[in-house]
Structure 1
């Protein structure tokens, strides 16, 4: 039995480049637009700690979720009650940052839409309550202030912001 070596000319193609990247100007517009709609837990934490004016953080989850844990300084307005409660609780012109459970939940998106329809400037906090907790930030619950260790898959173990 003889063995024959088969040589093939392999053409390597890029999965990344199977759809070409956008032109730089289009990319810049896209990413600027995303940042106009979204923020992250580290930036929200920095604003809450500094007392930055003009930002109101809203937890859009139900009462049970709020009691289980929420961001210190957040206002609790379940999505279904935004139209009713927002005008009483949030001054016009304040930028609202909405959050819900986490990336697998679109509750913050629904809440952001409700606030936008009421005329508020609004951003959605990426990662939601889940990533707030996973980054090791303190949160309030029925038991008081709680904090979990930093999940090093979401933030540096030191707890110091990654400053991205």
Structure 2
């Protein structure tokens, strides 16, 4: 018996439950990019870390800069309560997206994290916006 199979696989329903729950909280760079390219953007993409200057230099096209620490009912009031937010940060080494997701959920807002953040976006070969992206 291999180390792969020495622990029995979970029953199918447990796998369905697990991945359904996981995918209800996460999306990936490819799905975000594809939705935006197709004009199917039914979410608000938030860049949740760094200063306004850092955001101006390089960010994902179509993103709005709103730091996780600045998320308040007042700052979110332009969007209806049912608006889905997709949050991202620098990448897997950054927990800003986790903090933003927690802040948004505490405010009763639907949210998903974009896995990989800017590092994942770059790894997929997608373009950035901002002054550094034009250079």
TM-score range, shorter chain: 0.7 to 0.9
* CA radius of gyration, larger in: 1
Instruction: In structure 1, list runs of 5 or more residues that go unmatched.
Output: 1-12, 147-164
In structure 2, what is the Cα distance between the partners aligned to 1:76 and 1:107? Answer: 12
Equivalenced residue count is 134
Instruction: In structure 2, list runs of 5 or more residues that go unmatched.
Output: none
- What are the Cα deviations for residues 37-70 of structure 1, in whole angstroms up to 9, with x where unaligned? 1000010001112222531100001115423311
Q: TM-score, normalised by structure 1?
A: 0.74
CA RMSD of aligned residues (A): 1.9
Match of 2:124 among 107, 121, 135: 135
Match of 2:94 among 105, 115, 118: 105
Partner-residue secondary structure (3-state), 2:61: coil
Deviation above 4 Å: which 4+ runs of structure 1? none
Q: Is the 8 A contact 1:60 1:78 kept in 2?
A: yes
Name 1:92's counterpart in structure 2.
81
Name 1:76's counterpart in structure 2.
65
Name 2:50's counterpart in structure 1.
62
Q: TM-score, normalised by structure 2?
A: 0.88
Partner-residue secondary structure (3-state), 2:108: coil
